[in-house]
A = this chain, B = another copy of it.
Amino acid sequence: MTISADKLTTQLGWRYAVKRFDASRKISAEIWQALERSLILTPSSYGLQPWQFAVITNEEVKKKLPAISWGQQQPLDCSHMVVLAARRTMDAEYVERYMSSVTETRNLAADAMDGYRRVLVSTVEKMDSHLDWNARQVYIALGQLMVAAAMLNVDTCPMEGIDAQAYDQLLGFHGSDYTTVVGCAVGYRHPEDAQAQAVKVRFSADELVRRF
């Protein structure tokens, strides 16, 4: 095992939604590189990766964020503010682009994936809402990012309470194929963040888990 089962549980318990980041502490390039890889390596349905990620570290840009985050300071005070955006649509053209990346990466003949491509296009064309489907995949990335960070003793705060339209404008997603779904502030907790002391609240296993 890479870590012990106990240590995993400890780190998952150590994590909490940070209310106050230490604005003086920045994530090192090495650590950030690993966290960015965790975003990119996130699994998605059929491997389609229907997302883009905006990473905000520039102070001038960060200063604009509380006003479009219902006044919350985490996007400003954290080290790296991540905005997770979902692709608005899913269509044959995108599937084609993905399949080309599969055949190139795996050194396959250009037509090796034709059968799979047809199934996938047909599946995609039958769906009601591509944005809903794509947004769900984005939440896998959010979950993966928060655990990956916790493994490196890096703090996070997932943020649904942001003005997605205003973020779209600021980040150039407006009018693009992608739209803001959820944010995640990443950095280090302030030593005086009282929230760190709050006991974690969870329903019991008896309430949440059915065994068969």
Enumerate chain A interface residues (CB-CB to B < 8 A). Answer: 1-3, 5-9, 11-13, 15, 17, 30-31, 33-34, 36-43, 45, 47, 49, 51-58, 61, 101-102, 105-106, 132, 135-137, 139-148, 150-153, 158, 160, 171-172, 198-203, 205, 208-212
**Residue pair A212, B34 in contact (C-beta under 8 Å):** no
A8–chain B nearest beta-carbon distance, Å: 5
Inter-chain CA distance A105–B102, complex, in Å, is: 49
**Residue pair A143, B139 in contact (C-beta under 8 Å):** yes
Say how many copies of this protein the assembly contains: 2
**Residue pair A153, B1 in contact (C-beta under 8 Å):** yes
- Which chain B residues lie closer than 8 Å to A49 at the CB level? 202-203, 208
Query: Can you show 24 pairs from A to B with CB atoms below 8 A apart?
Result: A1-B152, A2-B153, A8-B148, A9-B37, A12-B37, A17-B43, A40-B205, A40-B208, A40-B209, A42-B143, A52-B210, A53-B210, A54-B209, A54-B210, A55-B212, A106-B198, A136-B139, A139-B139, A139-B140, A140-B140, A140-B142, A141-B143, A143-B147, A172-B210
Inter-chain CA distance A160–B34, complex, in Å, is: 27
**Residue pair A5, B152 in contact (C-beta under 8 Å):** yes
- Which chain B residues lie closer than 8 Å to A8 at the CB level? 34, 38, 148, 151-152
A120–chain B nearest beta-carbon distance, Å: 12
- Which chain B residues lie closer than 8 Å to A211 at the CB level? 54-55, 57
- Which chain B residues lie closer than 8 Å to A17 at the CB level? 43
- Which chain B residues lie closer than 8 Å to A153 at the CB level? 1-2
Inter-chain CA distance A9–B212, complex, in Å, is: 34
- Which chain B residues lie closer than 8 Å to A139 at the CB level? 136-137, 139-140, 142-143
